Amino acid sequence: MTTVLASPTVEVLRPSTWRSRGFAGTAAALGLVGFLVSAAGSWRPSFWGDEAASVLSAERSLPSLFRMLGHIDAVHGTYYLFLHGWIDLFGASEFSTRLPSALAIGAATAGTAMLARLLVNRQVAVTAGLVFAVLPRVTYMGAEARSTALATMLAVWTTVLLVHLLRARPANLGWGVALWAAYSALLAAGIYVFLYSVLLLPVHLLLVILLAGRPSTIPLAAWGAAAASALLVAAPVIYWGFTERGQISFLGRRAQVGVLDAAIHQWFGTALLAALAWGLIVLGCLATFVPRFDASSAGRARAPGDPRRAPRRELLVVLAWLLLPSAVLLLGSYLVTPVYSLRYMSICAPAAAVAVAVGIGALRHRWAQAGVLLLVAALALPGYLAQRTEFAKNGGSDWRQVADVLRTDARPGDAVVFDESTKPSQRPRLAMHLYPAAFVGLRDVTLDEPYQDVDWLWDTTIPLDQATSRLAGTDRVWVLQNVGSTQTTTGTDVDVLENLGFTVTSARTINRTIMIELTR
């Protein structure tokens, strides 16, 4: 074993040489790679339910949005406000609304590389950036109009700034205060974007204790003041999140996620890639913490004053970031109330990438490192391609394809009846709001109040048998139903229409939506 492993060594940068080493350019290049990987093909899948919540909320007027946030989704309010302005400038297409996430992943890729550079060395940093860019969880959130990519970007850059503060120790008091204030602001912003970013606090406390140096020099007071200030600033969203905690009650109706499922699907997507990744993490731990596995130190002593050492403290911090937030949520779900979802731990993806990169860096031969890195990318590729198919989102969302059919076949004056028997985030009526051009001139006969006028995410509706008078003068109706829904199996809406003299002319299944055309 000692012939194939060698722990990566920490290359500590002196503050005066950080800029002269020129890693910022490398980090920026890796960030561009991360952005391009996430942005490529992001426009292909149709929107799905969670993205519908983002887009519809962002398209509300500000008074309507704030009224809604007083009842639901306050924890997403910061992202909705951002997306509101973004859509005003760039529109609400799939590519436009997902572009901020791809940009955030680019920045997070650069931040992951920079963090690994500060904690370990340049080689591990480049590897970490590349691994991060291709992780299935990363490429998924980089092509989704939700807040997880922005939260991940803020998490990694907040950590980078903290490491900088601990390693650089600004001599100028004013500059030091400004940097601690910036750290506090980034931490608060991360909590506003994603409430569970608060789980970074124990990780950062460990980072301060392990990386600050001698006990007498640990800046616990400065960090504590900055963290407390961040919590104080974020107190409103923490309070709103607590009062609206019932909106994640749906987690209690799902099967509890087991540790093995979490280990596979949180970041890696498939069992093969997860096995490789966890194997590399274990390999890095052996090479770093167990001297007999470290060929770089076997049989030879360090020269006096040689600053190179295995990244033991640094890897402990990375492992804490990787494992602690997941452990807290999983234990909370099992012992208290369901609070865990696989995608909630997206903010730990940078730690996963750095830990894998340390394992790759533990291989002594460059050809072995390159081969394993290529294997990671190859195992991630099938999932990446699957994420960029037309029906990739949420088990096959097909709303854009449904809209395309109506754009071609429907005529002004036709009526549309939507399946209301599924949960709101899966109802085909969302296609009308996400792709409104295809529904111009069509009549929504069961609408009660549009979503912009209610304190809820979605439209309110009435049953079709109470809206039959709205079909007067209509000769064609399009019924959109979800495959396997209650409405599909009972056929109630079709029965109502047939009793009014309509006859089924055609029926087609797009993917998960059945389109039934009836004429009088």
**Secondary structure of 426-450 in the HEC alphabet?**
HCCCHHHHHCHHHHCCCEECCEEEC
242-299: per-residue pLDDT in tens?
Answer: 887 666 555 545 667 788 888 999 999 999 999 999 999 999 999 998 876 655 544 3
b/e 224-260 (16+ beta carbons within 10 angstroms → b)? eebbebbbebbeebbebbeebeeebeeeeeeeebeee
Sheet holding 443-444, edge to edge: 443-444, 415-418, 476-482, 513-519, 503-509
Backbone angles phi, psi at 15, to 5 degrees: -50, -35
pLDDT value at 444 more than 90: yes
Backbone angles phi, psi at 361, to 5 degrees: -65, -20
Helix (H) or strand (E) segment spanning residue 481: strand 476-482
Q: What is the pLDDT of residue 171?
A: 64
Contact 137, 343 (CB under 8 A): yes
Tokens 């979503």, residue located = 451
316-362: per-residue pLDDT in tens?
Answer: 999 999 999 999 988 887 777 777 788 889 999 999 999 999 999 99
Mean pLDDT of 394-403: 92
Please classify residue 441 by burial: count the beta carbons closer than 10 Å to its beta carbon, then call 0-12 exposed, 13-18 middle and 19+ buried. exposed
d(CA 139, CA 105): 8
d(CA 79, CA 76): 5
147-172: per-residue pLDDT in tens?
Answer: 999 999 999 999 999 999 988 776 66
d(CA 149, CA 55): 16
Mean pLDDT of 57-64: 97
Contact 464, 417 (CB under 8 A): yes
Contact 202, 223 (CB under 8 A): no
Q: What is the pLDDT of residue 129?
A: 98
pLDDT value at 241 more than 90: no
Of 275, 466, 305, the residue nearest 375 (C-alpha): 275
Strand partners, 480: 418, 515
45-54: per-residue pLDDT in tens?
Answer: 999 999 999 9
d(CA 19, CA 24): 8
